Amino acid sequence: MDYSNSRNTHRKNAYYMNRYLRVLLLVGGLLATSLTLQAQSMRLRAANKQFDNYSYLTAVRMYEDFLRGRVEPAESREALTKLGICYRKLQDSRNAERVYAELIANYPDLESEIYLYYAQALVSNGKTRDGQKMYSEYGRRQTQDLRGKKNTIGLMDPSRFYLDSSSFRVQNLAINSRQADFSPMYYKSGLVFVSSRDEGGVIKRVFNWNQTPFLDLYFFPDTNQLRIPGFDQIVRPAGTAVLGGGGPAGDQSVEIEAESKPTSKAEKFSRTLNTKYHEGPMTFTKDQTFIVFTRNNGSKGKSGKSTDGVRKLKLYSAVMRNNKWHDVTELPFNSPEYSVGHPAFSPDDQKLYFVSDMPGGYGGTDLYVVEFNNGQWGTPVNMGKELNTEGNEMFPYVDSAGNLYFASDGHEGIGGLDIFYAEMRDGIPFRGVQNVGYPINSEKDDFGLITDRGRTTGYFSSNRRKGVSDDDIYSFRRACKQLNILVFDAKTGRPIESADVRIVRNGSNQELKMTSPDGKTDLCLDINTEYEFKALKEGYASNSARFSTLTQSNKPEMNISIYLEKSENTIIRGVVKTEVNQKPAEGVKVTLRDDKNKNTQTVVTGPDGGYEFNVKPNAGYSLTAEKDRYATKKAKIGKQPKRVVASQKTAPDSIGIYGEGDVFQLKNIYYDLGKFFIRPDAARELDRVVSLLKEYPTMKIELRSHTDARSGDAFNMRLSESRARAAMDYMVSRGIQAGRLSARGYGENEIVNGCTDGVECSENEHQQNRRTEFKILAVQ
């Protein structure tokens, strides 16, 4: 895989006087023909050499020139086959279509892949029906690759890719150059992106593949400067959508062209990170002090190439210190024999998604994920055949909700690379893979999307306008398709004020809204979504209504009504939080069980961690909170009184859950200088940990002790180990099995306040480093 390849990669009788003369002319003609054919063969070998060196643009010129001469059928077939590959590598679908059409017309015994490539070129050029026929022929000629079957069926009704297209506006950005610009990523108030723009200079280095400059990272500091006046004023339209283009299903999306000149020149992102090699897609941790980026193998000489003579892509990391990037380091799972690139961090920075063609995958390039904890990389894991296909998956991005976007030419799409979405739960696609649709996707290559959790705004890359390998960066904005939720008293028909309406999206709790004095609340609908709206109010029995956007509606605003019956029921409400940082915990299954009749109610928490249950008074309940890799929390809820006055609200309770990998500092465990015995104040804090381990009998923890920087390194390491062991021995003496505990000393390796060797600090500051923590290793 190379950068140009990550997108595919991540664009011809007479009579004679006597027998002697006949023979002479015949011999001469044969000799001339032989010489001509020999010369032609040499020209083919020369073109093949350029092809083998990945100089596809040069190879194209040579193959085209070769085919204009007198060519033997076998050599014509070889040249056409390789010419088609060249045009595919250069993303030139129009010429690829021409070449594959000629191949199929003249050679009936072709490899089945020729029909696949012809189908892809046809669809990319807007010839959907012809492409569908070629996909069908590809599926008939072989049965292992499911792309033929899937796309034959998928293209029967392409209108489903155009649902909700009227809600979008797409803008070509003024930062684009005449060369390729792609893969934007949020950074500070701007965008970092990849470009092959020519910045001038005496020495110009170009990439043999397509004769363009090498790729570097660029930065545009302020996205506000990229907005066209009026472009953002479409979030809640008062009327119908504005008029625009003309795709299937009467789409009304609008594309706005950038001004002819850039609003401001983008700058090189980093002289440290940009080198003479390709630098490509990148990702940042949440605090933007750590970067992982793609670079083609920078090792010098033959050691930098694989056994097939190609410099593969690798991932590198760097750390920001004093406004500069330092410590450029190869990631440990790189290899000279396969490519690794296109990184994307998860919202909690504990997972890195990336692309690779390493052995064992499903297709050309696959999506992988690797754990990243405390600066240590785990072992990469293929994300499975539900996401990965026989084609190419690349350019992943994870939004703030943990959901995955990526580009693929293997799933059903509009043409070329399309962008797909997978709602993730515990690292698994919850509802399969969805094409994000037009106008973000087009018949050309679309990839490198970044967006918010609601996909209301964002940026992506496409070569839809210029074609070939000239990618541009686009922004998009989706208008709100509004649904009004109206809550009424079932008997009087009057609106109910201050009723809670919990939005449930695809089975998972989302935001909690409250009705206004006219009994109304609203939201902007997502496409391809099943909704449930649960209305709750003290003194009423709860009720709900369902709504689906799996089918399209042209109405910009819609209503749904919920009626509540008077009741003595009351509401149990609460918030699940992670104990390590007291933040709301999403994706937790909360089950309420009636202790008397054993009936249960279950919800899955959303971003706010909240849950609500409508219950009968004077009954006892049991509550259970469960999530993968978290300790199951159980709690008893006493009998609930009869309903409170309608204007009153019960305060939500908090439930804390403990997760694997969480590290807690035992704030009151300090040691006297140079000593390791347990002080009385430390014993009280350790007793709380003992209680925790008794509450969760399967939990295992690591006790981690630290010292200040005074004394030598070796002494401090031994001292910290003794302190950790002392804490462990104390807990064993209080009844905790030793097998559930481990003890480790870190010496002065993890100073918390800068009081390192040679730094003058107070005794209180040094004591902050003489501490013990515990880390949860396992919860079951």
Using the CB atoms, write b or e for 381-393: b if 16+ within 10 Å.
Answer: ebbeeebbbbbbb
Q: Is the pLDDT of residue 199 over 80?
A: no
Provide the whole-model pTM: 0.74
What's the CA dihedral at 749, 753, 759, 764 to 10 degrees? -110
Q: Residue 6: pLDDT band by 50, 70, 90 thresholds?
A: very low
Q: Which of 3-7, 211-215, 334-338 has the lowest mean pLDDT?
A: 3-7
Q: Is the pLDDT of residue 563 over 90?
A: yes
User: What's the count of helices (H) and strands (E) in the chain, helices before strands?
Assistant: 10, 44
What pLDDT was estimated at residue 468? 46
Both tokens assigned to 753: 């306040």
Q: Is the pLDDT of residue 349 over 60?
A: yes
Q: Which of 165-169, 275-279, 652-656, 694-698 has the lowest mean pLDDT?
A: 652-656
What pLDDT was estimated at residue 611? 94
For the chain, domains (ranges, CATH) are 5-162 (1.25.40.10), 165-478 (2.120.10), 481-566 (2.60.40.1120), 568-657 (2.60.40.10), 663-778 (3.30.1330.60)
What pLDDT was estimated at residue 212? 59
Q: Is the pLDDT of residue 300 over 90?
A: no
Q: In sequence order, which residues have a C-beta less than 8 Å from that of residue 443 and are 6 or more positions away?
A: 123, 124, 125, 126, 414, 415, 416, 464
What pLDDT was estimated at residue 675? 53
Q: How many residues does the chain have?
A: 780
> Which tens digit of pLDDT belongs to each residue from 571-591?
888 999 999 989 999 889 999
What pLDDT was estimated at residue 466? 60
Compare 608 and 640 and report the one with higher pLDDT: 608
Residue 468: name the closest of 91, 125, 98 by CA: 91
What pLDDT was estimated at residue 55? 85
Q: Residue 541: pLDDT band by 50, 70, 90 thresholds?
A: very high
In the chain, the percentage of residues whose pLDDT exceeds 70 is: 82
Distance of alpha carbon 205 from alpha carbon 695, whole angstroms: 65
150 contacts 143 by C-beta, under 8 angstroms = no
What average pLDDT score do residues 352-376 get?
Answer: 93
What pLDDT was estimated at residue 155? 87
426 contacts 586 by C-beta, under 8 angstroms = no
Q: Is the pLDDT of residue 208 over 90?
A: no
Distance of alpha carbon 388 from alpha carbon 366, whole angstroms: 6
> Which tens digit of pLDDT belongs to each residue from 708-738?
888 888 888 888 888 888 889 889 999 999 9
Residue 714, classed as helix, strand or coil, is: helix
Residue 221: name the closest of 245, 186, 196 by CA: 186
Q: In sequence order, which residues have a C-beta less than 8 Å from that of residue 481 and are 6 or more positions away?
A: 164, 167, 524, 525, 549, 553, 555, 556, 557, 558
What's the mean pLDDT when you consider all of the chain?
A: 83
Residue 472, classed as helix, strand or coil, is: strand
What pLDDT was estimated at residue 280? 87
What average pLDDT score do residues 622-633 get?
Answer: 93
Q: What is the DSSP string of 136-178?
A: HHHHHH-SS-THHHHHHHHTT-GGGGGTTGGGEEEEE-TT--S
Distance of alpha carbon 89 from alpha carbon 4, whole angstroms: 7
What pLDDT was estimated at residue 619? 81
> Which tens digit of pLDDT belongs to each residue from 668-715?
555 555 555 666 767 788 888 999 999 999 999 999 988 888 888 888
Compare 213 and 330 and report the one with higher pLDDT: 330
Q: Residue 56: pLDDT band by 50, 70, 90 thresholds?
A: confident
How many CA within 13 A on the CB side of residue 442? 21
What average pLDDT score do residues 1-13 get?
Answer: 43
What pLDDT was estimated at residue 771? 81
What pLDDT was estimated at residue 355? 96
The enclosing H or E element of 690 equals helix 680-695
DSSP structural state of residue 720: H
Q: Residue 15: pLDDT band by 50, 70, 90 thresholds?
A: very low
Distance of alpha carbon 344 from alpha carbon 246, whole angstroms: 34
Among 25-34, 63-72, 242-251, 280-289, name the most confident range: 280-289
What average pLDDT score do residues 44-53 get?
Answer: 88
Compare 69 and 228 and report the one with higher pLDDT: 69
Q: Is the pLDDT of residue 308 over 80?
A: no
Distance of alpha carbon 397 from alpha carbon 282, whole angstroms: 10
Q: Residue 184: pLDDT band by 50, 70, 90 thresholds?
A: very high
What average pLDDT score do residues 212-231 get?
Answer: 80
Q: Is the pLDDT of residue 307 over 70?
A: no
Among 52-56, 158-162, 400-404, 652-656, name the most confident range: 400-404
Q: Residue 110: pLDDT band by 50, 70, 90 thresholds?
A: very high
Residue 432: name the closest of 488, 385, 393, 367 by CA: 385
- The angle formed by the CA atoms of residues 243, 247 and 249, to the nearest 5 degrees, is 90
Distance of alpha carbon 199 from alpha carbon 306, whole angstroms: 30
